[in-house]
Amino acid sequence: MSKDARNGKQTWSPVVAEKVKELAELIRMERFGGEGVPEEFTFSQIEEIGHQVGQMAAAEVDRTLVDNHRQHFVGEHPCPGCGRLCMCRVAEHDLATRDGPVALPEAACYCPDCRRAFFPSACFAEA
Ligand SMILES: [Zn+2]
């Protein structure tokens, strides 16, 4: 993964840009049909539609990436104290994002030898 992908600065491929254009055209057709945007429609009303679709798209991207990210926390992880492999449990909590709720997995492991809980996400943190 590129450093840009980690810090959120991403240049999207022409394929993604084309899909977004297709989405915009689909929204236009669904909202206004063949007549198109009425003359009296204001930019503020147009912007509001764009904003609502953006929130829907953002929430879907969040869900897809969270579901994909969750795979890192399945199974056993080494205890940072003793190295014993401990089973990880994942619970979901609704996170209120700027674009609506997203079910966020929270993974935790418990080491019976050290009698401590640890979070496997720390295992994936960059040094
Ligand atoms: Zn341990």
Structural domain boundaries of the chain?
43-127
CA distance 62 to 66: 6
pLDDT in tens, 64-85: 988 888 888 888 999 999 999 9
Say how many Å lie between the CA of residue 78 and the centre of ligand 1: 8
7 falls in which pLDDT band (50, 70, 90)? Answer: low
* Rounded percentage of the chain residues whose pLDDT exceeds 70: 88
Sheet bearing 85-97, strands edge to edge: 76-78, 85-97, 100-111, 116-118
Say how many Å lie between the CA of residue 3 and the centre of ligand 1: 32
CA distance 95 to 80: 27
pLDDT of residue 121: 66
Chain centroid offset of residue 38 CA: 35
Chain centroid offset of residue 112 CA: 33
pLDDT of residue 1: 58
Say how many Å lie between the CA of residue 91 and the centre of ligand 1: 21
Q: Which of helix, strand or coil describes residue 124?
A: helix
pLDDT of residue 3 exceeding 60: no
pLDDT in tens, 100-127: 787 887 888 999 999 999 887 654 444 3
pLDDT of residue 126: 40
8 falls in which pLDDT band (50, 70, 90)? Answer: low
Say how many Å lie between the CA of residue 115 and the centre of ligand 1: 7
- Per residue, the 3-state secondary structure of 50-105, as one string, reads HHHHHHHHHHHHHHHHHHHHHHHHCCEEECCCCCCEEEEEEEEEEEEECCEEEEEE
Say how many Å lie between the CA of residue 68 and the centre of ligand 1: 28
Which of 1-5, 32-36, 68-72, 90-94 has maximum average pLDDT?
A: 32-36
Say how many Å lie between the CA of residue 83 and the centre of ligand 1: 6
Contact 89, 109 (CB under 8 A): yes
Say how many Å lie between the CA of residue 112 and the centre of ligand 1: 7
β-sheet bridge partners, residue 95? 102
